[in-house]
Structures are given as C-alpha cells and as structure tokens.
Amino acid sequence: MTTPPKKTAAEKKGEYRRGTQKKAAKGPSARGAAARAANEKRGVPSVAKPKPPRERSVRDAASRDTAPRDTASRDAASRDTAPREKPKAPKPEGRAPGAFRPVRDRSEAGSSKRRPKPQRSAEAPPSKAGGTVKADREGPMRVQRALARAGVVSRRGADQAVADGRVQVNGAIATVGQVVDPFRDVIMLDGTPVITRVTSHTWIVLHKPAAVMTTRKDPEKRTTVFDLVDDVPGLVYVGRLDFMTEGVLLLTTDGRAAHALTHPSNEVERTYVATVRGDAVTAAKVARRGVELDDGLVVPREVVAHPLGGRRWALEITIAEGKTHEVRRLCEALELEVERLVRTRFGPVRLGDLPSGGARALNSTEREVLEALMVGGK
C-alpha cells in the first residue's frame, strides 16, 4: 500500500478553513480515529466508515468570522452601561446572522420575576393609654376564682368565705369548688350581689404618700389609698405598701392579674430607695451575698449605695420575693437606720415625676409587659 505524501502546513490550514478537515476530537472519538488510522496503515480495513465532513455554508462562515470573540469584556460593558430601569425595546423583525445578542443585566432579570412585596398598611395607632382595658370573656370557673376575679376578696379570702357559707349562687349556698358562669349566674357575698360580668378592667398607678393605709377600710379611720382615687367597684391594690412607705402602687379591678403579679413564681421585680444612716457601702457588699432573715434567706437582685453627705446614703435595692416588710427588715439586719423608704418601680411601672398623692393610668407599653408577667401566675 502506497503511503500518501505528507501535506504541508499551508495545505492543512487551507483545508481547515474550507471545512474539509475536522479538528481532532477529544475523548472516545479521538481514540477511535487513532485506531482507524493505525488499521489503515497496517492494511486492515476499518469497520466503521468515517463520516463525511459537514459542508459549511457561506452564512455559517460569515457568522463565525464576524461574531465578536471577547464575550467577557462585552458582558462587563453591558453590565456597566445598562441603566437600572431600562424601558422595554420592541423585538426586532430580524437579526443578521451572527449579530450580537444583547445581554440583559442579571439584576434586572431577577427583579422582573420576583413577586412585588405586599404594601405595608399604615400602622394602627397605639392603644390609648387609659385606665380601662377590655377584658377577655371567660367561660365557667370555680366560684372562688369568680369572686377573686371580681376583686371583692383575695383568692384565699374567697376560699374561706365559701367554706363559711357566706357565698350564694342563684339563691343557694355555694360549695367549695362549685363551677359557675360569671356571665349567667347571680353570685352574692354576705347578701350583697357581686358583679362578676366584667367586660373591662381599670388600672391606676398611684404615688402613695407616707402615713396612708393600703387597705379598703381602716378601723382607726385613717386615710386609705382608696380615698385618693376615684373608687370603682371591685378595685383592689397590687402589692401593698407599709403605712410609712411611699411610692408606686398599682390598683386594678382585675383580681386575677393582681394575684398573678404578686405570686412568688412570677418574681416581679420591685425597686426601693431607702434613705439610711450607717455604713451603707459595707452593707451593700453583705447584702449582695444574701442576708438570712426570720423567714428565710434574702438575696437582692441589685444593691447600689449613693452618698448623700455625712453618714446618710440612698440605698437602692431591687428584690423579687415580696415578703412582708422585707426591705425594712433587711436594712435592720444590716445595722442601717431607715429614715425614708420609697418604691420607685413595680415591674415595668416606674414612679417617674408623678407627684405624691397623684394618680395616672397605665400606658400601653406597661400593660403589655404586665400581661406577659401574668402568664406564670395563672
């Protein structure tokens, strides 16, 4: 078999540009071509016939020769020069073969497919800061709870009143644990009807002055906290203050809330400022480690001593236990003489600049925080 003469580089280049010679394929096809060439050299006929070269049209050649090659720079230029809000251009009737297809900016393309964000409605104005709060309509409950919720007695007092036979439901003596419907049944305590169909609650923030009793009735006819506010049926105090203690005192018609906010499990913080005489700096250090009182260990959440001059100090104490006379007994155990005691905070409610004897309604933020605190004491 005669070996064909080798072609020059110029002849190969001409054949390649005319499409009569194909590029060497990669992968399995390249291996097959090499095998066929070896067979032909040894005189072994090939099984598979090579495919005839594809005849390229003048249009294809023009398209390849005229199409831009630097696509990376073209894409970059398109992204840099494309406006953010490009108006839609009419689709051309025809495009020359191999003509440049404009690249659409990706940020534009993505935004057209995204769903538009829903228009945010104007925020409703915050609830009016007032003393009246809408109450939730509750279903049947135990008679003791209905009495405490109405605010006429405490939960423990309601248990005792029912046990003593002082409570009537629809004209019959109530029994301990009896289930009633506050919106249907008629409940009486000591012969007086109790308003249990509560549709709203009143909340009052009072700056209790010194020498005022935290009680509804005083046998000695002294001034009570209820003499300082517009009395409302079922109004009760939340966390009593001693006779000579001043500061924040909450009053409400929601007996359930009053019970929950003073329940030990909720650990609602109260902050007091005691004007004292003595070594307040040492006392504060001791108090932070805890002080053993007659009814158990007291560990304040925070104790800070502020100098007032001389041996007088303003001792700021934050507690959460709520024991009887707790701060006064704590100061006595620390060998401090208390001249004045003011509660400046109860939970989220602060005294601020409310004058002594003055009252105000809860604001919406204070109500929201109090409602969250009440969860643990239900």
Distance CA 208, CA 225 (A): 7
Q: How far, CA to CA in Å, does 196 sit from each of 22, 68, 94, 140, 246?
A: 98, 86, 83, 12, 32
Provide the pLDDT for residue 41: 60
Q: How far apart are the first and last CA of the chain?
A: 106
Residue 219 is given by DSSP the state T
pLDDT tens track for 124-155: 333 333 344 444 445 688 898 888 777 677 77
State the average pLDDT over residues 344-372: 92
Reported as a pLDDT band with limits 50, 70 and 90, residue 338 is very high
Which pTM was predicted?
0.53
Q: Which domains does the chain have, with CATH numbers?
A: 136-199 (3.10.290.10), 200-255+352-378 (3.30.70.580), 269-346 (3.30.2350.10)
State the average pLDDT over residues 330-334: 96
**Cα 276 versus chain centre, distance:** 40
Is residue 242 flagged as an active site residue? yes
State the average pLDDT over residues 165-192: 91
Most confident of the ranges 13-22, 67-76, 113-122, 262-271:
262-271
Write down how long the chain is: 378
Q: Which of 242, 279, 294, 353 does the annotation list as catalytic? A: 242
* pLDDT of 283 strictly over 90: yes
Question: What DSSP string describes 278-317?
Answer: S-HHHHHHHHHH-EEETTEEE--SEEEEEEEETTEEEEEE
Contact 293, 311 (CB under 8 A): no
